Structure 1
Amino acid sequence: MSNILEVEDLHVSFHTYAGEVKAVRGVHFTIGQGETVAIVGESGCGKSVTAKSVMRLLPSPPAQYKQGSVKFQGNNLLDATEKDMRRIRGNQISMIFQDPMTSLNPTSKIGKQIMEAILKHHDISKKAAAEKAVEMLKLVGIPQADKRFYQYPHEFSGGMRQRAMIAMALACSPRLLIADEPTTALDVTIQAQILELMKDIQKDMGTAIMLITHDLGVVAEMADRVVVMYAGQVVESGTVKELFAHPQHPYTMGLLNSIPRLDMDKNQPLSPIIGTPPDLIDPPEGCPFYARCQYAMRICKHHDPDLEKVKTNQWAACWLHHPMAHKRVSS
């Protein structure tokens, strides 16, 4: 499988009155054609900043791409001009934003908003664009698409707004779809429908998906591979099967232990991760998880471990995998 996206050593900072916030610090990952890769981690770990960096949607200033590359189909998007990015956004790379109500224009009809992307990137008539927009609404399962085409966002339910966002994102058949918390504001029934819809569309269109979420249930349902982020860094990555069965970083273990499972005893308490993430204005010199880690060693405080291969399809940034470590991560 060839890679459609390659993010290498990405560093992104925000310059504020309080100081430089190092939001993303040396992120590496790849996404293959037709593959779903989930980026997971708690709030503030850099997931959405990474996603918006791929689309070059961060305002500069205050954002600054310090170093690294974001290669889409072999071309570094960080070197692309704004004119080049306007040709790519919504056409070759599309994004489903976290809150469809704030992402959709409340003063514009749904059909017109879907037509905008089609007319922007394709040399077709307004009539043909309108027919394509109705077709996309039908594709995402919106009933009475001919009628809904003329309605405003406030006339749609939350689930239908999210479907309309997906229709808009897929209108130009993108090679890569970035989904930033696509089911956060939805109830579990609608969430399941949206995830099933995304899988069906991916199967039909062969679109690669970059899924940004903190919901490990969604990851288990959707993803082929997982990238776990903490304090702006990748601390573990691997296939869904291996990462869920044999987590290799204490942070990943903590995430998995903090969610309920069907095989748990009803009286068994959940195990939250104690403490808070570090301040990224002044990040620690060693492992960023040091202060919250039950396995922490002296070296962890002063030296940040590299992301290294620990299993066939699994990488982790943890000193516990060093041969001289006094306690190894259980596998």
Structure 2
Amino acid sequence: MSETLLEINDLAVSFSTQGGEVQAVRGVSFAVAPGETVAIVGESGCGKSVTAQSIMRLVPEPPGRIKHGSIHLNGKDLAALSDKQMRSVRGKQIGMIFQDPMTSLNPTLTVGDQLTEGILTHENISKSEAEKKAVELLNLVGIANPQERLKLYPHQFSGGMRQRIMIAMALMCKPSLLIADEPTTALDVTIQAQIIDLFKEIQEKTGVAIIIITHDLGVVAQIADRINVMYAGEIVESGTVKEIFYKPQHPYTRGLLTSVPRLDGDRSQPLIPIAGTPPDLFSPPEGCAFTSRCKYAMEVCRAYDPAVTHLSDRHFTKCWLQDERAEKPF
């Protein structure tokens, strides 16, 4: 990777509760290059959204806090910035599309007011200039009659159109990085396909880098360049789309792939769910967090956390099965 836009190193985020400390993110490291699409996938509760919110510094403090680690955007450590300094980053340098377009927009404000708020905050332009940019963005995301639509309220749009408005809002200040948190979850399959095509088109036209957070591997296969697989607050495997889909090396990654239907495989084969439940992050296990659900688990897995094994320049995994002394089950 010749150039890095975003680089996260050893990020750990915890939440203090009456029951103790929840270690939601535990030592996450990854990078994003300009114009690249990186996916973060995993089950609910694995730390995907907390990682995204940490990049934007939106984790509420308290109860949350960044325990350690760095988040560098164009060489600037976001984890060390004050709230005031972060306000100049949010929207202008990083745009974010939050989960559930049905509730992310303010029902009491027109779409035009919500679209122009960010650019009026960050740039010294008039209201009419901001509205002109809003019209351009609504055109880009495929909303017809944009000039008239600026005057409407969110309830006057369908779910798919609200998601397009959210995308337009995130792009208003031309950020270099766009974070999309479950951008297709609340939409039907047809609208999902349209939104995926829209992301591709926007990336071609603007060159924005995208972090897409999802549990939908079908979405990932169509849009991502690289995939980070998260489990229990850690990245357990990372690689290109082809490496993850065709050469998965972590049992959890293989479990995710066998638990969802595939159009390019034998459809007569039954889906195989991952047995068990994720570990309690109040007190994460000493060894590999996936041990209790892994059919290949060994004694060493329970006692010691596996080291990172680099399988290629861009493919790595954390698993004791990669040790030269381990029997290779697949």
The aligned residue for residue 142 of structure 2 is: 141
SS in 1 for 2:260: coil
| TM-superposed deviation, 1:110 | 0.3
* Residues in 2 aligned to 1:242 and 1:34: alpha-carbon distance in whole angstroms: 20
2:259 is aligned to 258
Question: Following the alignment from structure 2 to structure 1, what is the Cα–Cα distance between the partners of residues 286 and 107?
Answer: 46
Residue 162 of structure 1 corresponds to 163
CA RMSD of aligned residues (A): 1.0
Contact 2:71–2:77 (CA under 8 A) maintained in structure 1:
yes
Q: Does 1:311 align with 2:307?
A: no
Match of 1:110 in 2: 111
Question: What does 1:72-151 correspond to in 2, within 5 Å?
Answer: 72-151=73-152
For the Cα contact (< 8 Å) 1:310–1:321, is it kept in 2?
no
Cα distance between partner residues in 2 of 1:116 and 1:263: 45
Select between 154-163 and 97-106 the one with higher mean Cα deviation: 97-106
Deviations 1:190-248 (A, max 9, x none): 11111111111111111000010000011100000000000000100000011111001
Question: For the residues of structure 2 that align with 1:103 and 1:167, how far apart are their CA atoms?
Answer: 13
For structure 1, the residue ranges without an aligned partner over 5 or more in a row are: none
What is the aligned partner in structure 2 of residue 214 from structure 1?
Answer: 215
Deviations 1:15-52 (A, max 9, x none): 00011000000001000010000000000000000000
Return the alpha-carbon distance in structure 1 between the equivalents of residues 93 and 321 of structure 2: 41
- The Cα of 1:103 is off from its aligned counterpart by 1.3
- Any residues of structure 2 matched to 1:44-55 within 5 Å, and which? 44-55=45-56
8 Å contact from structure 2 (residues 261, 267) kept in 1? no
Task: Write the mapping of 1:133-282 to structure 2, written as runs, cut at 5 A.
Answer: 133-282=134-283
**Cα shift at 1:312:** 3.9
Query: Which residue identity is paired with 1:56?
Result: R
Aligned residues: 329
Matches of 1:2 and 1:276 in 2, distance apart?
A: 39
1:45-90 deviation digits (Å, cap 9, x = unpaired): 0000000000000110000110011111111101001111100101
Aligned-partner SS, 1:90: coil
Q: Which amino acid aligns with 1:179?
A: A
Gaps of 5+ in 2: none
Aligned counterparts, 1:1-80, within 5 A: 1-80=2-81
Using the alignment, how far apart are the partners of 1:245 and 1:266 within structure 2?
17
Instruction: Please say if residues 249 and 329 of structure 1, whose CA atoms lie closer than 8 Å, have aligned partners that are also in contact.
Output: no
Q: Which moved more, 1:260-269 or 1:154-163?
A: 260-269
